[in-house]
Copies of this chain bind each other. A is one copy, B any other.
């Protein structure tokens, strides 16, 4: 397990650098995790409050299924560790990425009253695991934000149970949770979803401007 943990930690550092470069982990926000062993569950996860652009191997902790650091580990795991555990357990994910971006924040506000939003008709949807056509309709649930992490973990579990096909969740005015079989797939999902979020907002804005131009 030690070798695996070291390799996964290296990968987490690389992924954190990539996502921080794009501006999706600003100001120590966000957190990243990957399963080391499924049973008993051991999860490598980023330490609380570290700059994701300067992450090092020592900023990755090992936690168990109750989000407690495994003996020997020092430092505080991310506050949102229980959400990562909930996603791993309910969604059978091998890696979970939580990012903060402008476009996911914007969409979570715009579609707040509908509790989610659909993405449909874009080729980029095929970057989501198992999706074979741009005609796929992806429903992204929006969850009420909360500082009560055990309550929020329960909501995550319920939502993933209700929408077993979903590839992501958005917390209202908070950020994106997505996951994958492994870190590589989870990272691809972040890139795909962020692209789709921006495309969705910009297309809406331009179409609006255009329809006005036409009729005046």
Contact = CB atoms under 8 A, between A and B. Distances in A.
Interface of A: 18, 22-23, 26-29, 51, 53, 100, 102-103, 105-106, 109-110, 121-124, 127, 132-134, 145, 147, 171, 173-175, 184, 188-189, 191-192, 194-195, 198-199, 201-213, 216
Contact of A105 (B26, B100, B199): B199
A188 B51 contact: yes
Contacts of A175: 123
Dominant secondary structure at the A interface: helix
B106 A123 contact: no
Contacts of A203: 105-106, 109-110
Nearest to A210: B110
A191 B20 CA distance: 11
Contact of A204 (B23, B127, B210): B210
